[in-house]
Amino acid sequence: MASERPDHQRIVITGVGLSAPNGNSLPEFRRALLEGRSGVKPFETRYFGHTAAGICDFDELRYQKRKEVRRGTRAGSLGIYCAREAIADSGLDWENVDRSAVGIFVGVTEHGNVETENEIYLIKGYDYDTRYWSHHHNPRTVANNPAGEISLSLGITGPHYTLGAACAAGNTGIIQGVQMLRLEECDFALCGGVSESIHSFGIFASFNSQGALAKHDDPTKASRPFDADRNGIVVAEGGCMFVLERYDSARARGAKIYGEIVGHAMNSDATDFVLPDSGRQAECIRLALRRAGMRPEEIDVVSTHATATVSGDVQECIALREVWGESGGRTLINNTKSFIGHAMGAAGALELAGNLPSFDDGVCHATINLDRLDEQCALPGLVANQPRQAGRINAILNNSFGMLGINAVVIVKRV
């Protein structure tokens, strides 16, 4: 159990770097969440046309040259921006850090679709003559690309790879960082998730064909988890990277500690390509709690995965009732996708980051756009439309569930 681990096996968060549709730093992101500001905007994409999306506006040239941006990928640029911001936030003496002792573990939902779509579109203008296919295509589309671009940008020579875990990828990147630190494969872990998904017309078209793409006259109201009038997902891009290190290391250098990762779990539904299984989700939550040595009522905030699909939201609520019971106790429940849409591979990491400041300010941010609660999603602790002052918050549980039935849960405690 977490409480029994020696200090060199306790893993803490000491740096956060992010780009979300409504903020390019944790303070900016948190401010938007507390003020109820959505980052969803009108968006038009090739072939599909007009829709709504969560769009980031970070400065790609802050840490990259124009040539590097052109050669690389949007996911790589997001990863580089977030990783460098996280390192700066951590207070590490980066120039004197052993780069071979740093690992990079980046969760992704998909990678390579954007680049492939773009290349096919471009050679269409040359009558599909493959002599005009970019020689940058292969390094852009290999599965390790986002983590690899971070490695190149920062000169990190420790292990780097991406983890394909659908919409559970952000949590999966964090879990991998924790495990590699405990195995002493690295001394510092840059981990989290990124997504460039809005730049692929195919993702919009596929969700639309599935009847799962959100539609609303006002884009800021399109993402509506738990609302009776919800009608699907708002696709978003984004990125969030954390610096993780061992507690004894962080304490020795006097680092600011955002929280300690005390529990985590992953499992699989093994039931359907897209439909979630509440029973397996509940099992994943219970396993994370058991590893943390905690009871459900000791969790102060549950950050939900809910994407605003009709069945997905209901299944997660069933899972939460199964673990917490119908009364729910004193645990508060919120949702970040209502503000930014579904940032796919970055979702879990961004959602955890947005809740971390509650350890300092004692506030649980709301779920917005909740005008008419679906009675099947009526959870006692659901924080609707206005943030709630909760007093002292000690523990956050972060849910992430993805296609093909992959589930990942992370628990973070105040230190």
Q: Using CA of residue 89, residue 92, residue 93, residue 98, what is the dihedral sign?
A: negative
Burial class (CB in 10 A: 0-12, 13-18, 19+), 169: buried
3-state secondary structure of 23: strand
Residue 257 located in a structural domain:
no
**Rounded CA separation 360/302 (Å):** 17
- Mean pLDDT over 233-252 rounds to 98
Q: Is the Cβ–Cβ distance between 225 and 313 less than 8 Å?
A: yes
Nearest to 397 by CA among 358, 346, 367, 339: 358
Q: Specify whether 227 is located in the same domain as 271.
A: no
Residue 329 pLDDT greater than 90, yes or no: no
Q: What is the pLDDT of residues 257-306, one digit of tens each?
A: 999 999 999 999 999 999 999 999 999 999 999 999 999 999 999 999 99
CATH number, domain of 310, equals 3.40.47.10
Compute the half-sphere exposure of residue 239: CA atoms within 13 Å on the CB side of its CA.
31
Q: Which of 252, 280, 304 is the last residue of a domain?
A: 252
Calculate the dihedral angle through the C-alpha atoms of 251, 255, 257, 258, rounding to the nearest 10 degrees.
-170
| Number of CB atoms found within 10 A of residue 232's CB | 23
Q: Specify whether 195 is located in the same domain as 281.
A: no
Residue 86 located in a structural domain:
yes
Q: Is the Cβ–Cβ distance between 95 and 87 less than 8 Å?
A: no
- For the chain, what is the mean pLDDT? 97
For position 364, what pLDDT does the model report?
Answer: 98
Residue 258 located in a structural domain:
no
pLDDT band at 55 (very low <50, low <70, confident <90, very high): very high
Q: Specify whether 225 is located in the same domain as 332.
A: no
Q: Which two tokens stand for residue 331?
A: 């645990």
Give φ, ψ of 407 to 5 degrees: -125, 140
296 DSSP assignment? G
Q: Which of 252, 286, 320 is the last residue of a domain?
A: 252
Residue 280 located in a structural domain:
yes
Amino acid at 172: T
Q: Domain range holding 87?
A: 2-252
Q: Specify whether 267 is located in the same domain as 242.
A: no
Q: What is the pLDDT of residues 100-146, one digit of tens each?
A: 999 999 999 999 999 999 999 999 999 999 999 999 999 999 999 99
Q: Which of 252, 271, 289 is the last residue of a domain?
A: 252
For position 18, what pLDDT does the model report?
Answer: 99
Q: Which two tokens stand for residue 132?
A: 């005009």
Q: Specify whether 157 is located in the same domain as 234.
A: yes
Residue 365 pLDDT greater than 80, yes or no: yes
For position 326, what pLDDT does the model report?
Answer: 81
Residue 384 pLDDT greater than 90, yes or no: yes
Q: Specify whether 189 is located in the same domain as 332.
A: no
Q: Specify whether 196 is located in the same domain as 338.
A: no
pLDDT band at 3 (very low <50, low <70, confident <90, very high): low
- Mean pLDDT over 202-229 rounds to 98
pTM value surpassing 0.85: yes
Q: How many domains does the chain have?
A: 2
Residue 4 pLDDT greater than 90, yes or no: no
Nearest to 368 by CA among 189, 174, 234: 234
Residue 327 pLDDT greater than 90, yes or no: no
- Mean pLDDT over 5-24 rounds to 98
Active site residues: 167, 305, 342
Q: Specify whether 322 is located in the same domain as 178.
A: no
Residue 327 located in a structural domain:
yes
Q: Specify whether 147 is located in the same domain as 196.
A: yes
CA 292 to mean position of chain CA atoms: 21
Q: Which two tokens stand for residue 394?
A: 């000690």
3-state secondary structure of 190: strand
For position 2, what pLDDT does the model report?
Answer: 62
Residue 220 located in a structural domain:
yes
Residue 183 pLDDT greater than 70, yes or no: yes
Q: Specify whether 297 is located in the same domain as 200.
A: no
For position 25, what pLDDT does the model report?
Answer: 98
Q: Specify whether 178 is located in the same domain as 327.
A: no
Q: Specify whether 314 is located in the same domain as 236.
A: no
